[in-house]
Amino acid sequence: MTKQKTLLLASLLLLIGCAEISDTKTLKLAHGLDVTHPVHKGMEYMAERLAEKSGGELQIEIYPAQQLGTERQSLELLQIGSLAMTKTSGAVMENFAPQIKALSLPYIFKGRAHAYRVQDSKVGKDLLLQSEKFWLRGLGYFDAGQRSFYTKDRPINSPEDLEGLKIRVQESVTAMNLVRSLGGAPTPISWGELYTALQQGVVDGAENNPPSFYTSRHYEVCKYYSLNEHTAVPDMLVIGTVAWNRLTSQEQIWLQEAADEAISFQRKLWVEAEEKALAEVEAAGVTVIRPDKSTFMTKTKGLLTAYKADKEMFELIQKIQAID
């Protein structure tokens, strides 16, 4: 074979390869959780279902454990189209859609079943789209359980025990106000930096759900976990509108269907993960406390009534509480 024919054949093979690649769209999804976390497993299930629905035409590539940055950084990458999707806490999303802060208010949900009904209702679906003007579109809510306090040196039996403690919170005004209302000093720190911050005494404790407390190995540093369950902030599955608008209408349907199925799948995993996490941390020497939640409810009630002056927000709170 002559050199000219070899070059021609190589060019043809390259063109064929590009054509095959172009038949498949890959959406990159980044998040900060460990691969053993039930939310990560939910996203893996979504990727499987999307590949099946699209016959392999549309796929998701997942980058866990903050490989591509923090939640805030990932959202910024979504906005400019450098990343397609991410998982972020509803507490972080309130920076882009203020009304989402309602989902972070203390004791706004009557329990897990009520939280699901709110998220699946028109109220919940409308909130997913409020951030579109900031180039972010919510696809659904993953169960992130109920958040409770864990500390290094002092058990939390009542709000008074939080007095003077530096508690890590997410980048959320609502989360900071909540800790202040209980007497603590809120300290925003990214999730990936929290283990070291706890070790070095930058903060005295944090607050999160049982699976996150367990999979992050924060129980190695914090030996007290108080299940006061002050909030049930969901994780939100978000796609950048740049990536969303590049999809055909059929691809958008496939993706939304895969997300909905993944959410149902993940909710079942969550209950099992909570039970396992609590058993594991107790076995590792953590004292799990089940305090009287009514004292925490009383202390934080003002965070809800404070919105009476904000007609739109207070109506949203009332709608959420009215859902059976």
**Is residue 22 very low, low, confident or very high in pLDDT (cuts 50, 70, 90)?**
low
Residues 6+ apart with CB under 8 A from 313: 98, 99, 101, 102, 307
Task: Give the model's pLDDT for residue 282.
Answer: 98
> Which of 64-68, 171-175, 241-245 comes out lowest in average pLDDT?
171-175
**Is residue 15 very low, low, confident or very high in pLDDT (cuts 50, 70, 90)?**
very low
Please write the tens of the pLDDT for every residue from 195-237: 999 999 999 999 999 999 998 999 999 999 999 999 999 999 9
Task: Give the model's pLDDT for residue 112.
Answer: 94
Please write the tens of the pLDDT for every residue from 120-135: 999 999 999 999 999 9
Output the CA torsion sign for 46, 42, 262, 132: negative
Q: Which helix (H) or strand (E) holds 288?
A: strand 287-289
In the predicted model, is pLDDT for residue 307 greater than 50? Answer: yes
As its CATH architecture, domain 3-96+125-141+235-276 has 3-Layer(aba) Sandwich (3.40)
- List the beta strands (DSSP E) in 92-146: 136-142
Q: Domain segments of the chain: what residues?
A: 3-96+125-141+235-276, 147-232+279-322
- As a whole number, the mean pLDDT across the chain is 92
Q: What is the CA radius of gyration of the chain?
A: 22
| Alpha carbon distance 83, 292 (integer Å) | 44
In the predicted model, is pLDDT for residue 20 greater than 70? Answer: no
**Sequence-distant contacts of 184-192: CB under 8 A, at least 24 apart:** 190/66, 190/70, 190/71, 190/72, 191/32, 191/66, 191/70, 191/71, 191/216, 192/32, 192/65, 192/66, 192/70
Task: Give the model's pLDDT for residue 171.
Answer: 86
Tell which CATH classification among 3.40.190.170, 3.40.1160.10, 3.40.50.300, 2.40.30.10 matches the domain 147-232+279-322.
3.40.190.170
Task: Give the model's pLDDT for residue 23.
Answer: 76
Q: Which helix (H) or strand (E) holds 299?
A: helix 293-300
In the predicted model, is pLDDT for residue 290 greater than 90? Answer: yes
Q: Give one DSSP letter per residue of 169-227, joined into a string.
A: E-S-HHHHHHHHHTT-EEEE--GGGHHHHHHHTS-SEEEE-HHHHHHTTGGGT--EEEE
Please write the tens of the pLDDT for every residue from 254-279: 999 999 999 999 999 999 999 999 99
Same fold across 3-96+125-141+235-276 and 147-232+279-322: yes
